Amino acid sequence: MSSALVTSRLKLRRWKESDLIPFRVMNADPRMMEFYPGTLTDAQSDDVVKRAEKHFEAHGFGLFAVEVLETGEFIGFVGLQNVPFEAAFTPAIEIGWRIAFEKWNQGYATEAAQVVLEYARQELKLPEVIAMTYAGNHRSRRVMEKLGMIYDPTADFENPHPSLVDSWLKPHVLYRTSWEAKN
């Protein structure tokens, strides 16, 4: 299990206590949470971190906290997790990200996700990683495409995630890695 991954600009690492407050601020920002059921309370935000750390302990991988190497500033998370619901495409490992609004359009999500996918393929030897989002979330879909992930329209789904049952956030789209193209 790697406790840190590094790119030219970023360090992906396990979570620290000092990440909690900036993460709470991120999760309370409606711009950040546009394609989620809503913003998060401080307790809900802290629970995301607790679940990420528990996932690391249980599975050897998880959602890494992301910091800018030059400044040490926490800017969000990027990482892997088991999909927590049943669907036609599960069991599966999902890559996900949440980068602070002020850091959007600087390539941080793509840069961090690239190193995470390489880690998934080379170190974890995962056969596939998926990504999913609300169909109208064009920013996340663009990141998935920049990562070389392939949209699988046969796997689009309405709302298997319990938090989305009564949500307007549907349908969801699914992207898959294509390791074969990288061998």
Question: Is 1.10.3720.10 the CATH number for 4-182?
Answer: no
DSSP 9: S
**Strands lying side by side in the sheet with 63-68:** 4-6, 10-13, 63-68, 74-82, 93-99, 130-134, 172-176, 150-151
Stretch 169-183: mean pLDDT: 75
Nearest to 64 by CA among 114, 104, 28: 114
> Which residues lie below 8 Å from residue 110, measured CB to CB, with a gap of 6+?
143, 146, 147
Q: How do the domains of the chain map onto residue ranges?
A: 4-182
At residue 159 the predicted structure's pLDDT band, cuts being 50, 70 and 90, is: low
Per DSSP, helices labelled H in the chain are: 20-27, 42-59, 108-122, 138-146
For the entire predicted model, the pTM comes to: 0.91
Q: Does the pLDDT of residue 5 top 90, yes or no?
A: yes
Specify which of 3-17, 34-48, 159-173 reaches the highest per-range mean pLDDT: 3-17
CA–CA distance, 144 with 120 (Å, rounded to integer): 15
CA–CA distance, 19 with 45 (Å, rounded to integer): 11
Dihedral pair phi/psi, residue 73, rounded to 5°: -70, 130
Cα atoms in the Cβ-side hemisphere of radius 13 Å centred on 171: 8
Mean of all residue pLDDT scores within the chain:
90
